[in-house]
Amino acid sequence: MSEDTELIEIEEEEFTSQLTTPVLKRIGGLLKPHWKWVLGFFINIAIVSGLDAYFTFLNKQIIDQGIMLKDSARVMQIATIYGSFILLQAAAVFTFIYLAGVLGERIQYDLRKMLFNHLQDLSLSYYSNNAVGRLIARVTSDTGRVSDLLTWGIVDSTWAVMNITSSTIFMLIINWKLALIVLTIIPVMMIIAVEFRKRILEQFRISRRANSKITGAFNENFQGTRVVKALGREDENTREFQGLTSKMYHASYRAAWLSALFLPTVQMIAALALGFIVGYGGLQINLGLMTIGGIQAFVSYLTFMMWPIQDLARVYSEMQHSIASAERIFKLVDTPPEVHNRPDAVEAKTLLGEIEFEHVDFFYEDRKSVLTDFSLKVKAGETIALVGPTGGGKSTIVNLLCRFYEPSKGVIRINGLDYMDYKLESIHNKIGIVLQTPHLFSGTVRENIRYGNLSADDAQVEEAAKIAGAHDFIVTLEKGYEQGVGESGNLLSVGQKQLISLARAVLARPELFIMDEATSSVDTLTEALIQRGMDALMKGRTSFVIAHRLSTIRRADRILVIENGQIAEQGSHAELLKLRGHYYRLYTQQFRHQLEVAYGVVEEEGEKEKVISEAVAAD
């Protein structure tokens, strides 16, 4: 089973059946902006339900005052009333269904807008610690469940309550003694209906969890077919799969058995009630206290009440899921962003001043230290290259600089001011980033480049592409700048996506430029194109470049070797080679790899070292 599926399943179990008053109040609060629609909905559904009960009363009058007395004029009179109210009821049915549909869409729109806006405000750390599937479930299925509860759930429950209420009123009018006796059946039917629903729901939950595991087992076996066959795991996998399917079968069987038993049980109780009504009513007719039409009306009203009771039990069961969905939504909405503006934050007019890390410590939620007492001063317009082993803290430095995270200790200053005193948006608007794995949005090449500056015209977009070295390949595409890139840019190569991402950064005209492993996954020719684009973009800007390919950073003003969250060495390319320390070892390791790729493994170690030393000296 996938991690996201497991998380959603676990959360459903954790939140089920928590019908807390605060949550119900917040759910009800979603209706407040649409109170006029809600009022219109209740008025129209009351009209429909009231007329249903009144039509049964008219049937009683037709029997008692028309058919039994052979009064055709009275029959026609009642039929005319019946017909006129049918038209009114039809209009009311159309209106409440329309209002419920529109109300549901409005609530779902409000919820999704609220969630999406809040997700935009949440810090990067929230996305690092929460599975994508969980967040998608909040915005899609959870909002849909809450919307259904507040619309069609209300339709069904309101209809049920009003049918029971209106039927009760008319039964009391016809014969209040018999009505009170019949009403004692309602609690019994409600208890039976709710209990059956609970048991059926529990079996469906077991079946659903088993189905998720079965889906996961299918997925793992299909993707790992070679491993399964290589290790001879076919029989063991078959036994595990049979265990899962057996569990799902038995749970589904019990759910089907309970569902089949539920309706006959309710019908038996209803039949007993109907038998009592007919028997008791017959005695009342003999005493002149009831009419045939009255008995017929009682039978109809009891039927009207039987189905609404089942609807209430169903709505109650579904309400458990909707409440759980609402709690998950509100939990997300109540999550504050870890990085946010201070009350007195000011606009950052420019980032082209001195940047200083002053005794900065940083650790993630697991409290494992990434940076320790890290200090660095960067002059305006300086290009800083960050190199070192994976996990040393390079990406953390630029993430802190972009204020995706904030220091656990210490301070970062821009132009002498703590950067937490600046508004977050004013910092982000002045930073351009090109990542190791570029992300393109569904749309055209032009739209993806323009994402860096939405007000840019076509000429500016194409000029940015030329500076980034992307123009030449773009014009060879079938539709040029209007070519679709596919989902996440999957119709383009990694190098092409990287060049478009660089063009987007050029168009944004950032004051601070960050390049994070942008050439690690491209060929040599594309690397050269990206390097030229980088040179053009970094000119006159403060820049930070993270790179494993050290050939891309030789022209940096300063190279920092980051190890264990601290600066192990710093200096220019030539200075660090002369030190023959950390940087020298990293650089010569790359020469070894290039030498072996180009010429094969050199047998004599002394000869290999000689070639490397000569290459480094020449460099």
Question: What are the tens digits of pLDDT across the range 369-381?
Answer: 889 899 999 998 8
pLDDT of residue 222: 65
Do 188 and 290 belong together in one domain? yes
Does residue 409 belong to any structural domain of this protein? yes
Indicate if 299 and 391 belong to the same structural domain: no
- What is the Cα–Cα distance from 524 to 541, expressed in whole angstroms? 25
Minimum mean pLDDT among 201-210, 388-397, 498-507: which range? 201-210
In this structure, the strands spanning 369-378 and 409-414 are unpaired
Q: What is the pLDDT of residue 4?
A: 44
**287 and 422 share a domain?**
no
pTM: 0.68
Higher pLDDT: 329 or 238? It is: 329
Give the rounded percent of residues in the chain with a pLDDT score beyond 70.
Answer: 83
Which of 333, 368, 391 delimits the end of a domain?
A: 333
Domain containing 592: what range?
Answer: 580-619
Per-chain mean pLDDT for the chain: 79
Going by pLDDT thresholds of 50, 70 and 90, the confidence category of residue 7 is very low
Question: Looking at the domain assignment, is residue 345 inside a domain?
Answer: no
pLDDT of residue 366: 59
Q: Residue 117: CB partners within 8 Å, gap ≥ 6? A: none
pLDDT digits (tens, 9 = 90+) for 297-327: 888 888 777 777 777 766 766 676 677 778 8
Cα(384)–Cα(538) distance, integer angstroms? 11
Q: Does 341 reside within a domain?
A: no
Amino acid of residue 565: G
- CATH number for the domain harbouring residue 279: 1.20.1560.10
Helix, strand, coil fractions of the chain, as percent rounded to 5:
70, 10, 20
Residues 485, 617, single domain; the answer is no
pLDDT the model gives residue 82: 86
Residues 383-410, mean pLDDT to the nearest whole number: 88
pLDDT digits (tens, 9 = 90+) for 140-194: 878 888 888 778 777 788 888 888 888 888 888 888 888 888 788 778 877 877 7
Pick the closest to residue 499 from 541, 448, 453 (CA basis).
448
Q: How confident is the model at residue 18 (pLDDT cuts 50, 70, 90)?
A: very low
CA pair distance 220, 186, nearest whole angstrom: 51
Instruction: Say if residue 84 is in the same domain as residue 163.
Output: yes
612 has a pLDDT exceeding 90: no
Q: What CA–CA distances, in Å, run from 21 to 26, 148, 323?
A: 9, 19, 11
Amino acid of residue 413: R
* pLDDT higher at 215 or 359: 359
- Coil vs helix vs strand at 368: coil
pLDDT given for residue 239 in this prediction: 77
Question: Which segment, 229-233, 335-339, 523-527, is predicted with the most confidence on average?
Answer: 335-339
pLDDT for the residue numbered 519: 61
Do 400 and 486 lie in one domain? The reply is yes
- Write down the number of H helices and E strands in the chain: 23, 10
Tell me whether residue 455 is in a domain: yes
DSSP string computed for 15-51: HTT---HHHHHHHHHTTGGGHHHHHHHHHHHHHHHHH
Same domain as 568, residue 615: no
CA dist., res. 28 & res. 328, Å (int): 16
Mapped onto helix, strand or coil, the DSSP state of residue 412 is strand
Q: Are residues 552 and 588 in the same domain?
A: no
* Residue 288 three-state SS: coil
Least confident range of 14-18, 80-84, 121-125, 210-214: 14-18
How high is the pLDDT of residue 17? 43
One-letter identity of residue 325: S
What letter represents residue 297's amino acid? A
Is position 473 within any domain? yes
Lookup: tokens for 358: 């002053």
Q: What is the structure's pLDDT at 212?
A: 62
Are 404 and 518 contained in the same domain?
A: yes
In the predicted model, is pLDDT for residue 247 greater than 80? no
Query: pLDDT tens digits, residue range 550-585?
Result: 766 777 889 999 888 889 999 988 888 888 888 888
Low-confidence winner among 88-92, 214-218, 251-255, 353-357 (lowest mean pLDDT): 214-218
Asked if the structure places residue 339 within a domain, the reply is no
Q: Which amino acid makes up residue 16? A: T
CA dist 54 and 603 (Å) reads 101
For 329-362, letters b (16+ CB in 10 Å) and e give beebeeeebebeeeeeeeebeebbbebbbeebeb
Give SS3 for 370.
strand
Q: What is the DSSP letter of 350?
A: -
Query: First vs last Cα of the chain: how many Å apart?
Result: 52
- Kindly report, residue by residue over 427-486, the tens digit of the pLDDT: 888 888 877 777 888 889 999 999 888 889 999 999 988 888 888 889 999 999 999 988
pLDDT of 91 > 90? The answer is: yes
pLDDT tier for residue 610 given thresholds of 50, 70 and 90: low
What pLDDT shows up at residue 375? 92
Average pLDDT of span 403-414: 90
Same domain, 36 and 64: yes
Task: Give pLDDT, residue 88.
Answer: 92
Do 561 and 576 contact (CB within 8 A), yes or no? yes
CA dist 155 and 41 (Å) reads 9
User: What confidence category does residue 394 fall into, taking pLDDT thresholds of 50, 70 and 90?
Assistant: confident
For residue 11, is pLDDT > 50?
no
In the chain, the percentage of residues whose pLDDT exceeds 90 is 11
Residues 246 and 157 in one domain: yes
- Assigned domain for 343 exists: no
DSSP state of 483: -
Domain count of the chain?
A: 3
State how far Cα 1 lies from the chain centre. Answer: 19
Predicted pLDDT at 603: 47
CATH code of the domain covering residue 516: 3.40.50.300
| Contact between 412 and 401 (Cβ < 8 Å) | yes
Q: Does residue 338 fall inside a structural domain?
A: no
Looking at the fold, whether 366 and 476 belong to one and the same domain comes out as yes
